[in-house]
Amino acid sequence: MLNSAYGQGLNHLLNEESDKATEILIQMVEVDPDTIELHMALGSLFRRRGEVDRAIRVHQNIVARSRLSDGLREQATLELGRDFLRAGLLDRAEKLFVKLLDGGSHERETCQHLVDLYQQQKEWRRAIEFGQRLAEFDADAWRPRIAQYYCELAEMAMEAGEIDAASAEAGEALAQDRTCVRATLITARACQSRGDYQRALAVYAEVERQDPALLTEAMEAMRHCYMQLGELGHWQDYVEGLVTRHPRLVLSDSTLIEQRLQQLIDSQARYCCEKCGFSSKRLFWQCPGCRCWNSVKPIQADKVE
> Tens digit of pLDDT for each residue in 168-218?
999 999 999 999 999 999 999 999 999 999 999 999 999 999 998 898 889
Q: Which among 79, 14, 81, 96 has a CA at the least distance from the CA of 40?
A: 79
Q: In the predicted model, what is the mean pLDDT of residues 24-45?
A: 62
Largest Cα separation within the chain, whole Å, is 89
Q: Delimit the domains of the chain by residue range.
A: 1-121
In 3-state terms, what secondary structure has residue 149? helix
pLDDT score, position 151: 97
At 24, is the pLDDT very low, low, confident or very high (cuts 50, 70, 90)?
A: low
- The set of residues, in sequence order, having a beta carbon less than 8 Å from that of 166 and lying 6+ positions away, is 154, 155, 157, 158, 186, 189, 190
Sign of the CA dihedral running 121, 87, 97, 147: negative
> Which of 3.30.365.10, 1.10.3480.10, 3.40.50.720, 1.25.40.10 would CATH assign to domain 1-121?
1.25.40.10
| Residue-wise pLDDT tens digits, 85-138 | 988 899 999 999 998 888 777 889 999 999 999 999 999 999 999 999 999 999
Q: If you average pLDDT over every residue of the chain, what do you get?
A: 82
**Whole-prediction pTM:** 0.77
The rounded distance, in Å, linking the Cα atoms of 175 and 42 is 44
The rounded distance, in Å, linking the Cα atoms of 301 and 305 is 9
At 225, is the pLDDT very low, low, confident or very high (cuts 50, 70, 90)?
A: very high
Q: How far is CA 222 from the centre of its chain?
A: 29
